[in-house]
Amino acid sequence: QVQLVESGGGLVQAGGSLRLSCLASGRTFGTYAMGWFRQAPGKEREFVGVVNWSGATTYYADSVKGRFTISRDNAKNTVYLQMNGLEPEDTAVYYCAVAARSWRIPTADPADFGSWGQGTQVTVSS
């Protein structure tokens, strides 16, 4: 089973940037799509974006499109979430997750993902 550990969260002013990292264990990391989700207090977990197994294809939620970028380095078993132009509405705990099935790009449904990280807090002040 893949274990995921996120890092890079913190407090940033509106308009600022942060880069989150997600380190995965397991030798088959490079065959699975990876996703990022977030959850604000009192709200449901929300899809942020996904990257396919090679890093060549990405999809994003409309709320972050043009501001957030997902990338991956399979040699380092790591996926990244670069967040620019942060807004107070982006405040949430951010989670990375590995797709439940290898090679396929999952939908935005959390049920399409298997292992999850513990999350990292991102707070954007106005």
What is the model's pLDDT at position 120?
A: 98
pLDDT at 1 over 90: no
What mean pLDDT comes out for the span 25-32? 87
Return the exposure string of 104-116: e unless at least 16 CB atoms fall within 10 Å of the residue's CB, then b.
ebbebebebbebb
Q: For the chain, what percent of residues have pLDDT higher than 90? A: 95
State both tokens at 8: 């890079």
Span 55-83, average pLDDT = 97
Residue 61 scores a pLDDT above 80: yes
- What is the Cα–Cα distance from 19 to 115, expressed in whole angstroms? 21
